[in-house]
Structure 1
Amino acid sequence: MKYHVFLSFRGEDTRLNFTTHLLQALKDEGLDVFFDEEKLERGEQLSQALSRAIAVSNISIIVLSADYASSKSCLVELSDIMDRYSVEQQIVLPIFYHVNPSDVENIDGSFKKSFDEHETRRSVDEVKQWKTAFAEVGKLQGWHIDGSISDR
């Protein structure tokens, strides 16, 4: 394996706060983390590079934020991660960042709206694949960070 951890997140939601701190904490523990801003080489096809990085990682940590499902690239990444989880038994650790885990599993709240919008622009099969992966990650044990004082 090339990376200890592949970090999946929606940049606009968490890059400048939670994800930056998580990345630093993982690095402080001596882990080699795939973080798209640091590891992608110029000219590489983004989805191919991400897929390769997922394939050569021991663990995927998915930071599920309110707008995670609005991003096509996040959903493609998530689908790839969950494929590796089911076929190759890759470890997947979800972090439910200011979202309810049951909203992820049941594709409810802001996630329902995001998937409804994808259904107007993408193929039925593609969106179905994303929904399946999204609901599956919602069933996994993970961390729920709800923004209360105990999270700080």
Structure 2
Amino acid sequence: MQRTLISKCLTSTGRFLRPATHFLPSNSKSTSDIFINHRGTDTKRTIAGLLYHHLSGLGYHPFLDSKSMKPGDNLFKKIVPGIQNCKIGVAIFSQRYCESYFCLHELALMMEFKKKILPIFWDVKPSELRIVDNGSYSTKEIERFQKAIDEVKDIVGITFDTSNGDWSEFLSSATDSIVQCLHETEEDNERHLKHKITKY
């Protein structure tokens, strides 16, 4: 039986959370707080774009390829540091997500950099996520991508059915969840830093 997934980071208020003073993002435009991993043709004009604008309006610096890159930028040279320097990742899974090399590559990078990931299952169930092997991937790449997909299936996330879901409620809850997860990550990092300082 497919379990119903809800975000473990949801707040009870359903309102957008603005950054607390000590959680304010860096003023550097080159640093992103949140990396949005998505298949552009599926979600760029819907949830990915909406989340980018909502989070930007709250004072955060999300990374979305269509907004954070300009013509002439090298995709790999922007994506890798974008993931490496972000605090959390948001992976938006759509029906054709697994057909994209770049989606899978970004997801694998987030796992390899040990980033906290909040999955959003957009008109797709976790059990339906499968690598589409069209013969262009090496065995090593398939294993790498499959490992990332298997790991993300074990993460509690958010599901949304566009045919009967409430868009306003979904966007509010998703934004709150992302911001809350970001704050939790910041707190974990602060505790880890204090522990290291105390230790030495």
- TM-score class, shorter-chain normalisation, is 0.7 to 0.9
Q: What does residue 93 of structure 1 align with?
A: 118
SS across alignment from 2:33: strand
Q: TM-score, normalised by structure 1?
A: 0.83
Within 1, Cα distance between the matches of 2:40 and 2:67?
13
TM alignment of 1:126-137, pairs within 5 A: 126-137=141-152
| CA RMSD, 1 decimal | 1.7
SS across alignment from 1:73: helix
Instruction: Point out where structure 2 has 5 or more consecutive residues left out of the alignment.
Output: 1-25, 168-200
TM alignment of 1:18-33, pairs within 5 A: 18-33=47-62
AA in 2 matched with 1:93: L
SS across alignment from 1:66: coil
Within 2, Cα distance between the matches of 1:149 and 1:75?
28
| Higher share in helix | 1
Query: Sequence identity, in percent?
Result: 28
| Higher share in strand | 1
SS across alignment from 2:41: helix
1:124 aligns with 2:139: yes
How many aligned positions are there?
A: 138
1:148 Cα offset (Å)? 4.7
Moved over 6 A (4+): none
Q: What does residue 107 of structure 1 align with?
A: none
Q: What does residue 37 of structure 2 align with?
A: 8
Instruction: Point out where structure 1 has 5 or more consecutive residues left out of the alignment.
Output: 105-110
- Which of structures 1 and 2 has the bigger CA Rg? 2
1:138 aligns with 2:153: yes
Q: TM-score, normalised by structure 2?
A: 0.64
